[in-house]
A and B are shown apart, each in its own frame.
Chain A
Amino acid sequence: MIRRIVRYLLRRSAAEADLDEEVRTHIAIERQHRIDSGETPDRAQMEALKDFGNVLMVTEVTRDMWGWGWLENLWQDLRHGARLLWLNPAFTIVVVSSLALGVGANTAIFQLLDAVRLRTLPIDRPHELAEIRIAGGNGGMGVNPGRYARITRPMWEETRRQQKAFTGLLAWSQFELRLGKGSERLRAKGLEVSGEFFPVLRVAPWRGRLFQQEDESFACPATRAVVSHSFWQSQMGGRELGPDSKLFANHQLYEVIGVTPPNFNGVAVGETFDVAVPFCRPDKEPRRDRFAYNVMGRLRPGWTLERAAAHLDALSAGIMEATEIQGYGSGTVARYRKFRLTAYPTSNGVSALREDYDSSLWLLLGMTGLVLLIACANLANLMLARSSAREREIALRLSLGASRGRLLRQFTAESGLLAVIGAALGVGLAQILGRILVTSLSTQSSSIYLPVGLDWRVLLFATAVAAVTCVVFGTLPAVRVTRMQPESVMRAGGRGLTAGRERFSLQRVMVVTQIAVSLILLAGALLFVRSFRNLMTFDPGMRQQGISIAFVGMPGTMPKERLEGFHRELMEEVVAVPGVRNAGSTSNVPLLGSSWGHGFDIGATRGGATFTWVSPGYFETMGIPLISGRRFDPRDTSSSKRVAIVNRAFVRRFCRSADPLGQTLRTGAEPGYPSTLYEIVGVIPDTRYSGLRDNAPPSVFAPGLQFPQLGPWAAVMIHAETPQAVTAANVKARLSQKFPELVVEFEDFRGRIQDGLVRERIMAILSGFFGGLSAVLATVGLYGVVSYIVAHRRNEIGIRVALGARKEQVIRMVMRDAARLLVPGLSIGVALSLAVTRGASALLFGIKPYDPPTLVAAAALLAAIAAGASFVPARRAASLDPLVALRHE
């Protein structure tokens, strides 16, 4: 097609010259004939021309025969449209940029949503994949490391042995790898996978081979590894694998036997892996309370998900009995035996990212959809205003015989040009926006890997948006104009004194809609911004600023009798560092999402609370005051009486009216945590525990040295007056003198907490951006319509001014017109906001979706901007010179 067009264009000028010559020849021959028959040359020339008729008309209709008429017309229309757009740069820029922003924002969010939610895993027949879980979860029983950890290893092995619904059952879990030795150690993401992992997923090796069932049968620790394509490229230089392809990680050597394909990044969407190691055969039975694995299977042909789920349910009782949890109280065991396995569809993988962002992304897509709606309304309004301004031109052309179809084609070409340019820019913008979004989802502690590419679906989406916009909003106004009677237009053209109300009805409706929709967006934006601010300024009951977390650990093991001394010396060294005000170690760093709890009996009641073992300096370091009783001190050791400090929530729940001090609680036994009797010696206020959003749970604190799992490692909270980098360097320098082998890693407490608020930050920024954008677009729309009304009432205003109307009166008159649009828009917007923002309540913190101050603020803000925008044309109208206005026609 393109080649044909080019060839045609090249040939076209030649053909045209040919035709001209042909016509000239015809006339010349006729003239010669006439001269030959005795006419004078002058008369012959005249008669020959007359005889031929209208040269232009003849060449025109002849050209039509060439069959390229439609293309010619299209080309003409496009050129004409481009010229018009070029001549109205302000109009073009406003339309194209609002369309680009609308399409771009939509496409970016859609791309993200697609990557997180809609896309299936890049494996063969992903729809056959199902995830196996305990129905309703395990209720926090045992150890639950990681977001995808759901099944214990014995449970998986028993299920694998008994089930018939799947061709294979794979298990995997994530772990952290340390690559290399000493100070050059690098963190890497590890996957521990069962032998079925790659065969069941049907992942083919990129290099070497991937694990088979046999790889699982070697004794622990496993010594073979498979690496991801990106790791192979970045860390192994993409070299071919050989016997010397080794990897030193976690203090041991692995042989790299294979590389996975570039598009395979595991089954967790939003995450990637570096190194996969196979399951190995441990020398003792694996723990029955570590719900550490994620289990998936490929459905056998003919099996549906429902049938598989029913099958698993039927097997559950036997599986739970065979793998019964050990070392727990009878209640826990009874609960365990009631667990039922079930199957979930998992063709698009598992994703913590999806769980966290699903509703946010849909909400954002809704917002961008509304922004696009406003942008389209703007486009329509501008096109409408333009085509109305061209009414006389169109009427003239219609009465001169132009066909309606021809005029419509021209308008379509014009708006199509706008839509295509806008959509193209929007797709480009979407790529940039999408990349920014993915980067802003990543934090220092968790990097997000999302292949957000331009695929055909996204292109189709943008094209559809552009096409609909083009057809509906560009051509409809033209249809309206061409349907009018030419003579009525010619007669009405500005002669009437006041503009008819119905002439603006469509514009009015659209501006009212724009204002209403942008009020929703503004109100939503304010809600999210305030919610984010609430979180940022929220006091969790402890100090956040100036706190560094030092994770310290000695490689290898340490004899039990030396542990206590190690911890004591460690804390002494840290506190002695210049600039350090205070320091305290803890078994669980608060507010970062992790938690540890135990069940206990207190008096006659049974309950559960979070348990944290902290060193004496902890409460002062974290700025947590004591309400009553005493703090921990160096006399609380592993050999002294077991004591506890509880928070207010604990007291409220379990101590009721009695004085908590002196009361005792006995914990239930768990593996590694024998049943212990604690005496309450102090009470502290409520502090948030695993996250800012959750209310303070009943909490128990015990002396760090009494921690049953005490080891040669610790998390030390350090309150220092020096900047974090300086503190880190000083502490590391000091500790390396005393403990040369000690590994120390630093993190900023507040930074880590804020990492947990990424979603809220993104929602606040994006909704703020979209809200602002929509307000600007709606304002432009209002400004356009008010200006247009003023232009049409020019004569009327001129007469009023001539008859002595004062400036303020004219301004008031125009502003009244604007208010007639603004007030209904705002009222509808408020009503809609109340209905719509309720959907966001789960994402809000410390604020209700029906928050009157927010709504009032949004409405006032919009009203102020809109009033400002209408004031400009109003003032222009007021300073109209009546003579000029009346002479205008």
Chain B
Amino acid sequence: MAQPYKNRIELLQGTLDMLILRTLQWGPQHGHGIAQAIRGNSGELLLVETGSLYPALHRLEKQGWLSAEWGLSTNNQRAKFYKLTAAGKRQLAAEQSKWELLVKAIAGVMKPAREA
């Protein structure tokens, strides 16, 4: 059987939430669309499993970072659209700066200043 996504990366714990929030910054989207967007934007490297996606969506909704309502998809299908709330936007900003700090820190460790 073909293995199209050989190079996929295991998501770091907690980063999925951030990716979802970030994806929704461009506007409301349904579950399938979010998964597609993450996959597309990661150059097919990040594959979000439904078993992680939907629990995450419902959890974020319960925390008040997302709101959801039913709407019509591009091919006229009734679908549940998730939207970033004001609290969600604040959360995204916080997570993003935390993430950047982490990347810088890890980069610093992996590429020591000596080499520069």
- Listed in ascending order, the chain A residues whose CB lies under 8 Å from chain B are 18-19, 21-23, 25-26, 28-30, 32, 52-54, 57-59, 61-62, 64-67
Contacts and interface: CB of A to CB of B under 8 A. Distances in A.
Interface residues of B, number: 19
Nearest to A48: B32
Contacts of B73: 25, 29
A676 to B, nearest CB: 100
A61 B55 contact: yes
A364 B62 CA distance: 57
A29 B33 CA distance: 9
A28 to B, nearest CB: 6
Main secondary structure of the interface of A (DSSP, over half): helix
Contact of B55 (A23, A32, A64): A64
Contacts of B7: none
Interface in B62-88: 62, 73, 75, 77-80
A52 B50 CA distance: 6
Given A26-B31, A32-B75, A52-B50, A21 B55 contact: no
Contacts of A21: 78, 80
Interface in B20-72: 30-33, 49-51, 54-55, 57-59, 62
Given A32-B77, A62-B58, A65-B59, A25 B30 contact: yes
A25 B58 contact: no
Nearest to A22: B80
Given A29-B79, A61-B55, A65-B55, A53 B32 contact: no
Contacts of A28: 77
A30 B30 CA distance: 12
A67 B58 CA distance: 10
Q: Which of B30, B32, B57, B59 has the most CB of A within 10 A?
A: B32
Contacts of A59: 54
Contacts of B55: 58, 61-62, 64-65
B51 A57 contact: yes
Contacts of A18: 80
Contacts of B51: 53-54, 57-58, 61
Contact of B62 (A23, A26, A57, A67): A67
A26 B50 contact: yes
Given A54-B51, A57-B51, A29 B58 contact: no
Contact of B32 (A30, A54, A65, A67): A30
A66 B62 contact: yes
Given A54-B51, A67-B62, 8 more contacts: A22-B54, A26-B32, A29-B73, A29-B79, A53-B49, A58-B51, A62-B54, A65-B58
A25 B54 contact: no
A53 B50 contact: yes
13 contacts: A21-B78, A22-B54, A26-B31, A28-B77, A29-B77, A29-B79, A53-B49, A58-B54, A61-B55, A64-B55, A65-B59, A66-B62, A67-B62
Nearest to B60: A65
A18 B78 CA distance: 11
A57 B53 CA distance: 12
Q: Which of B33, B55, B59, B78 has the most CB of A within 10 A?
A: B55
Nearest to B49: A53
Contacts of B78: 21, 25
Contacts of B80: 18, 21-22, 25
A64 B79 CA distance: 22
Contacts of B57: 62
Q: Which of B30, B50, B57 has the most CB of A within 10 A?
A: B50
Nearest to B31: A26
Contacts of B54: 19, 22-23, 58-59, 61-62
Contacts of A67: 62
Given A53-B50, A57-B51, A22 B31 contact: yes
B48 to A, nearest CB: 11
B31 to A, nearest CB: 5
A26 B78 CA distance: 10
Contacts of B59: 65
A7 to B, nearest CB: 15
Contacts of B33: 29
A391 B77 CA distance: 51
A65 B79 CA distance: 20
Nearest to A18: B80
Contacts of B49: 53
Contacts of B77: 25, 28-29, 32
